[in-house]
Amino acid sequence: MKIFNQHSINGFLITLFLSIMLPNMVRASEKDTSVNNARMKMDSNQSKEKEKPQSSMSMKTDSNESMGKEKAPDSMSMKMNSNDNKATGTRDPFANSGGYEYTGMGGWEETDEMTVSKVIFDQLEYRNGNNTKLNRWDMQGWRGTDYEKFWVKFEGRDIKSESGGEFEVQGLYSKAVSAFWDIQYGARYDRAYGSGKNDERYFGVIGVQGLAPYWFEVEPALFVDSNGKISARIVAAYDLLLSQRLILQPRAEINASASDLPELGIGQGVNDFQLDLRLRYEFKREIAPYIGITWQKKYGDSAKYSQQQDSSSEFTEVVLGVRIWF
């Protein structure tokens, strides 16, 4: 007797297959759904993160552009001044500015064209040597801008033992030719007085004045008198700061002449060489008393003429003075 027929066996197998496979299929579908949901969340987060920097950057860019548009007229403006400078003959202070002139603070762009002045007595001293006692002064003053100035130079000495002395005055026009050098030209007047003499001489002057490398103040000049006689002078000085207020200044001066002038005690060639050493203390920058020593020697015919007048061709003096400027 057959307990199961063919149809009942087939139905049993189908039921068994479905009971085994259906739970697995449900789990797989649920897993796929969760994975898809996770992917969707990740995509949405990434899209949000991409959108945030773009919006902030665009806002910053817009704000910077708006700020730049607002500041530009206040900070820089294109102003060409070449025509004005050509008319006045001065050096264009904006020649290398690419056509721009700073106008953020009124007046600051013209500080190098302000008219200012200064007077300095670099030497105002008493000298005591072997045979001479004298007062010596050396003053320079100027008025003008950084590019153009009018200079006055006044120096001389009053010899107490001879009841006389000598002085010279120069009036010069100065023009800047570089950051550290000025060219100067003008006129010079010399006078010797006392002991029955009253000699006068007039010169044309051309020279330069400025700051050489290693901070040497240099002042070479060429002179031509009313008779066409040529002479020259070069002065160099250096300030050595022992402290902020104590300063040692060596100074050298050389005079030369292209002509022989025996009536003035001047020979052809190098006339004299002078070397000074002064130690000053600046109580204020404008006032500085000093002590020092100076040595001078004449050469060639100048030494011979000096000996003929019973004067020494070489001498040393102790100096005491004050340096003042205002």
Q: Residues 237-294: pLDDT tens digits?
A: 999 999 999 999 999 999 999 999 998 899 999 999 999 999 999 999 999 999 999 9
pLDDT (0 to 100) of residue 77: 44
Query: Whole-model pTM?
Result: 0.67
* 3-class DSSP assignment, residue 39: helix
Q: By the 8 A CB rule, do 278 and 289 touch?
A: no
Say which residues have a Cβ less than 8 Å from residue 116's Cβ, sequence separation at least 6. 143, 144, 145
Say which residues have a Cβ less than 8 Å from residue 240's Cβ, sequence separation at least 6. 247, 248, 249, 250
Under DSSP, the state recorded for 262 is G
Q: Residues 134-186: pLDDT tens digits?
A: 999 999 999 999 999 999 999 999 988 777 899 999 999 999 999 999 999 99
